[in-house]
Structure 1
Amino acid sequence: MTHHVDVHVGKRVRHRRWLVGMTQQQLAEQVGIKFQQIQKYETGANRISASRLWDISDALDVPVSFFFEGMEAEAETADVDTAEAAVPSSVPADLMGDKEALDLVRSYYAIPENQRRRLFELARVLSDVA
C-alpha cells in the first residue's frame, strides 16, 4: 500500500524532471538505476531511500527539501478538497502534476520576455471574457 508522503515525493520528482525536460531514462542513467524504478518512484509505488533521494536531487539540481514542499498545504486542504469534490473546476486539483500544464509553462518561458508579457496579457483578457 502506498503512503501519501511517497506519492507526494514521487509527484515532485516527476514535476521537476518535466520542468528540466529530462526523460525517465536520462534521470535513471544519472542516478545509476533502471528507468522502471523511476516510474515506480514517481507513482509512489516504491519508496525512495534517503541516499537515492540525495542522488535524484543532485541530478535534478534541487535541494532534497524540494521534494517535501507543499506537504503541509496538501494535508490541510485534503478535508476541503473532499467537501468541494462535487463542485466541478476547470483547473486540475494538482496543477503542477499535470503534464500539459508543465509543458505549457516550459513553452511559455521559452518565449522572449517582451512577447511573453503580451501573451500573458492576451490570456488574461481571454480568461476574463470566458
Structure 2
Amino acid sequence: MTANPRGPNAVDRHVGSRIRLRRQLLNLSQEKLGEELGVTFQQVQKYERGTNRVGAGRLWNLARVLDVPVSFFYDGVNEGAGQPGFSEGDQTPIVDDFIQSADGVALAQAFARIKDSKVRRRILELVRTLAAEEAEATATEAAS
C-alpha cells in the first residue's frame, strides 16, 4: 500500500507537534487557539496530530498568535524527513517525546522555577533512582 503523496508527512507531523508544544507552554486550550485562528478546536487537533496540513497563511497566523517566528515550527526537523525513503521511526529524540506530553511540559516548567542548583541535582538523583527501580522491577517481572 503506497502512502498518499498529497497526505501529511513527517514534516507535517513535526510542525503539528511544535504547534502543540507552544500552545501548551502558553497554557492555551485548543478551543482558545481555534478561536484566535477562526477555526474549530477539532481543526486545531488535526493540525497538532499532523492529520491535516497547515497552509502557509495559517502557519503565519499561528506564529503571530503563539508569538514565535515561523521557523519555530521547523526547529528540529530531521534532514530528509518527509522525503521518500526516509522514515522518522524511533529517531525522535527522547527530549522531544518528553516535552510533547502534558506531564513533561508541567515538569519542565516547575523544574525551571527551581533556582537552587543543589535542589535541582537532588531532584535529578531522585528521578534517576526511581527510573532505575522501575527498570529493575520490570526486568524482574519479565524474568518470572
Deviation at 1:43, TM superposition (A): 0.6
Q: Distance in 1 between matches of 2:125 and 2:71?
A: 37
Cα distance in 2 between the residues matched to 1:43 and 1:3: 11
* Pair 93,24 (structure 1): closer, same or farther in 2 beyond 3 Å: closer
Question: Partner of 1:85 in structure 2?
Answer: none
Whether the 8 Å contact between 2:10 and 2:88 is mirrored in structure 1 is: no
Deviations 1:29-52 (A, max 9, x none): 111221111011001111100010
Larger Rg: 2
Shifted more, 59-68 versus 25-34: the winner is: 25-34
Q: Which has the higher contact order (CA 8 A, sep 6+)?
A: 1
Contact 1:7 1:44 in 2 (8 A): yes
Structure 1's unaligned 5+ residue stretches are 83-90
Residue aligning to 1:59 = 65
The whole-number CA distance in structure 2 between the counterparts of 1:104 and 1:119 is: 15
Q: How far apart in 2 are the matches of 1:123 and 1:73?
A: 35
Runs of at least 5 residues in structure 2 that lack an aligned partner in the other structure: 1-6, 133-144
How far off its partner does 1:94 sit?
1.7
When the two structures are superposed, what TM-score results if normalisation uses the length of structure 2?
0.69
2-structure distance, mates of 1:24, 1:61:
16
* Residue matched to 1:14: 20
- 2:8 corresponds to 1:5: no
- Percent same amino acid at aligned positions? 36
Take 1:54 and 1:42, find their aligned partners in 2: how far apart are those partners? Answer: 15
Residue 101 of structure 2 is aligned to residue 95 of structure 1: no
Distance 1:19 1:93, change over 3 A: closer
The alignment's TM-score, normalised by the length of structure 1, stands at 0.75
- 1:108 and 2:126 aligned: no
Counterpart Cα distance in 1 of 2:24 and 2:96: 18
- Shift in alpha-carbon separation, 1:92–1:57, aligned structure 2, 3 A: closer
The change in CA–CA distance for 1:73 and 1:15 in structure 2 (over 3 A counts) is: farther
